[in-house]
Chain A
């Protein structure tokens, strides 16, 4: 199979632009990145089908021509396009919802929980009990030794 180098370059450009846009914080830009990349990959599928630019339909005489494009690849692209279009619509809805919910822009924030874990002090450790040593503040195992027997005394 001969590969159309021009189309291959277009694939490369589309995918790299897509990846670049994906690194943005804005949801809409990320979506655009995914769409660009998706189109690039779809082009790659066209290339994989061979005979780029030729008709994929085999004539009524049923003969198979060497130069025909592969209809299967094009059918798959059609499916991929439909899927990515549906998902794009969903992401747009999500972007709109992110905008109305936070009432700012559609930027993706850092994960708050992750930041919290990264910044937390000894005091906030998951091991911490209220039974920690009152003087030194050191974590003790006393809390673990209280069982259900103790719980009934709860106010």
Chain B
């Protein structure tokens, strides 16, 4: 019981800590050093909290709190289960490492001289938005979480406001806002059909909604989340927007923002719309995402763009796991999400180091990096092999789990996806190895434009106006904080392999939680509601709002809303 109480104290902290930290760092705008220290402390605390949540959630299963004491269907519910706890831990580890990297870069580039430093506060707000999305127990709170992280990501992406960043920012902002509109429309449809937005109550009530309406609503959500997660037909915005941002920002976007969309798809698919109505669509989209993404990656000369395309491609693996609609598929998808967040972020950080070391990220200009900087070569090679799925690494374990799940399902479409996943894996290996042979292995003299970087790097800084490169004696040398944080993430990637056994066990339990919805509903709404939960296969009797809310203790003076929406679903 005390552990449950501890979780209840811990659940809001991943959201609250960065918000308060953002406010504090904002007031410290004139003290860059304090600002940096504080933001790192906040993220480190968040990591500890998330780690505690992970351990406690694994022991106690799902825990829910009602914010402000309002009963569940009306108030805001925050839910921590195994999936969200795992996502929080990975997110915070990545956020912390990237923040250290960005601080290292900021110190080296001398960004104390900027008038107001808004990077740290915005970054912390984004952390809060991501945490909120992972913990949200109702659809509207999920929407707010999305908006918070999107708004701050807009600012981060256009930081510095050079012409190309504004250009990239416009695409990103418009597409993101459009996806939010689609999401909001989905919320309106859901509310009209069921009269509630609480995820647990929706799980109960959506069973009573006619199947056509339910599938239509699911499709609207899939489009909204698919844009955010960059699933194939909705992914073309990503390779245009991410590569222009500074390395740490691209890294954290690539690692985390798309995965929030994947998380939302997992949540909607398992909790709200079980039964796999749109699984074939998901599988085909997953296949297309894998293949088109990796073909795009092969065509690129710019490594940042190349890795943006591999990012799109590997989202397909997660969609594949979700679309299989089996527990093993979900296990693989969750493990793959965790693995991919770490590896993709690491690779973008390494690309940032390459740019700094060699003055370019273009494969036409790079060469001899393995000789110039063996440390960098190791830092690149490990996550690259990991991404390609070479056996000892976590990428291999995730892919094998997914393939196993696909074989287990055994339908023709599943077999096609298994084949597609293997082909994508090999092509990924080809893409990352080409970066290796071109950038690290061959002599720079052999690069078609090698002489352009053999001289001093032209532009390394985000804000070139601040420090003239001629005055910097250390062009091409890498700050220890940047290398250190990248190395730490590489180690986390290796650790995912070392603890793969327990981690797969954990993701299995998380998937079990997701498949058995009665635990979730029972925790949020009480056991009576869980008993009303319809079977995934057939529609069950629709429960009116009055029945469900009568099971809740009424709060004194609280408005008991009886919306006209009560009658809608009938």
Contact = CB atoms under 8 A, between A and B. Distances in A.
Contacts of B447: 129-130
A34 B176 CA distance: 11
Contacts of B564: 1, 49-51, 66-70
A91 B437 CA distance: 42
Interface string A31-67: 0001001100110110111110000001000001011
B445 A109 contact: no
A72 B173 contact: no
A148 B177 contact: no
Contacts of B441: 144, 146-148
B162 A143 contact: no
A47 B192 contact: yes
Interface in B147-178: 147, 151, 154-155, 158, 161-163, 166-167, 169-171, 173-174, 177-178
Given A97-B158, A109-B167, 15 more contacts: A41-B184, A41-B185, A51-B564, A76-B187, A83-B151, A87-B173, A94-B173, A108-B170, A113-B302, A114-B240, A124-B364, A124-B448, A126-B298, A142-B446, A151-B367
Contacts of B437: 143-144
A37 B565 CA distance: 23
B206 to A, nearest CB: 15
B465 to A, nearest CB: 14
Nearest to A101: B163
B559 A154 contact: no
B398 interface: no
B378 to A, nearest CB: 13
B371 A126 contact: no
Contacts, number: 194
A92 B161 CA distance: 13
A108 B163 contact: no
B568 interface: yes
Interface string B453-477: 0100000000000000000000000
B565 A48 contact: yes
A130 B366 CA distance: 12
B170 A27 contact: yes
20 contacts: A27-B170, A34-B178, A41-B185, A45-B184, A45-B188, A49-B191, A50-B565, A70-B564, A94-B166, A98-B163, A108-B167, A124-B364, A126-B300, A126-B301, A126-B438, A144-B442, A146-B441, A147-B370, A147-B441, A154-B444
B203 to A, nearest CB: 19
A114 B162 CA distance: 19
B144 A87 contact: no
A58 B559 CA distance: 8
Q: Interface size class for chain B?
A: 35 or more
Interface of A: 1, 22, 27, 30, 34, 37-38, 41-42, 44-45, 47-51, 58, 64, 66-73, 76, 79-80, 83-84, 86-87, 90-91, 94, 97-98, 101-102, 108-109, 111, 113-114, 117, 123-131, 142-144, 146-155
Nearest to B161: A97
Interface in B63-120: 74
B372 interface: yes
B299 A148 contact: no
B19 to A, nearest CB: 16
A125 B364 CA distance: 9
A90 B169 CA distance: 11
Contacts of B301: 124-126
Contacts of B523: none
Nearest to B435: A126
